[in-house]
Amino acid sequence: MTVMPVDRSDPRPLHSQVADVLRAQIQDHSIAPGETLPSEAVLRERFGVSRSVVRQALSTLEDEGVVRRPHGRAAVAAVRTEHHRLVQRVTGLFDQFSAEGLALSTKVVSLDPVRSGVPSAEEHLGTRSLLRLERVRSVDGDPLSYVRTWLPADRFTGLDAAMLTDSSLHRIMESRFGVVPSGGRRQIRAVPADPGIARELGVPENSPLLLLEGGTFDRSGAPVEWFESWHRSDRVVFDIEAAGSTEQVNIAPGPSLARPDRSRPQGQTPDTDTGLERALSLADELRSELDRLRG
């Protein structure tokens, strides 16, 4: 057994030091999800601390959702059900999850040439000759997001579905087409799931989803994509970095929620649109979180 005594000159409480070590081992998969942690007696000997310190450390990890503690049994590393995405980065979901050691799988639903897209896509890309790509992104078979992307057809001639299965679109752009995504603007809105997207994500129709959408430019400033990415709000969390007085992300309901008739089926009224009400509530939560960060 490897002895890892705590540093008693460290001003941090002993239980925090023990929790930090165990948390790091779980996050880097030294202790795999679902694996049982050593017993309290073993941990006490390993760290050279009392039983109360070990129990307090495990209690902290349990409160964080890092471990589960079944009654009468040793703690177990929790299987991750919530995934975080940093929205300021241009890197896509594939690269962000790969950096965290998560295997993100991609199913290509369709890849078709089209003569038009949504007005925002046409305006951003400056053309009506487009490719429309639709994908489902999953972790361990659990769908997390549905992504619809428009690309300028003339810049991505030869792109096919096989290239994109379980792969990163941005990596393919760079390796196959010499296009390096470099910057862009993003916005987040809370929306109800339409029937098709709800089916692909395995959620009830009108469930609240987080919609991340925006356009991306290459290093020369030329537009390379417009995307709409619907995320399960029970599985994906958007992280926001607040630096000084600079506002990094602006969270608001957006025009489609301010004018519900654009997204609501004909004949449906606000009083009966429970999915939209839940989405509006989620938008309020997002605004509250931004206010907290600003404070």
Given a cut of 90, whether residue 10 has pLDDT beyond it is no
Q: How confident is the model at residue 254 (pLDDT cuts 50, 70, 90)?
A: very low
What is the CATH T-level fold of the domain 83-294, as seen in this structure? Answer: Chorismate lyase (3.40.1410)
Q: What is the residue extent of each domain of the chain? A: 14-77, 83-294
Q: In which element (H, E) is residue 14 found?
A: helix 14-27
User: Which residues is 181 bridged to in the sheet?
Assistant: 218
CATH number of 14-77: 1.10.10.10
| CA dist., res. 32 & res. 78, Å (int) | 9
| CA dist., res. 74 & res. 51, Å (int) | 13
Among 10-24, 138-152, 228-242, whose mean pLDDT is lowest?
Answer: 228-242
Q: In which element (H, E) is residue 147 found?
A: strand 142-152
* Model pTM score: 0.56
> What's residue 261's pLDDT?
40
pLDDT mean across residues, the chain: 79
Given a cut of 70, whether residue 98 has pLDDT beyond it is no
pLDDT, average across residues 34-39: 89
> Are 232 and 143 a contacting pair, CB within 8 Å?
yes
> What's residue 251's pLDDT?
40
pLDDT digits (tens, 9 = 90+) for 52-87: 999 999 999 988 778 888 877 889 887 655 555 555
- When comparing pLDDT for 142 and 175, which is higher? 175
| CA dist., res. 176 & res. 171, Å (int) | 8
> What's residue 293's pLDDT?
55
User: Which residues is 208 bridged to in the sheet?
Assistant: 192
pLDDT digits (tens, 9 = 90+) for 113-126: 998 778 999 999 99
| CA dist., res. 219 & res. 173, Å (int) | 13
Given a cut of 90, whether residue 247 has pLDDT beyond it is no
pLDDT, average across residues 238-258: 49
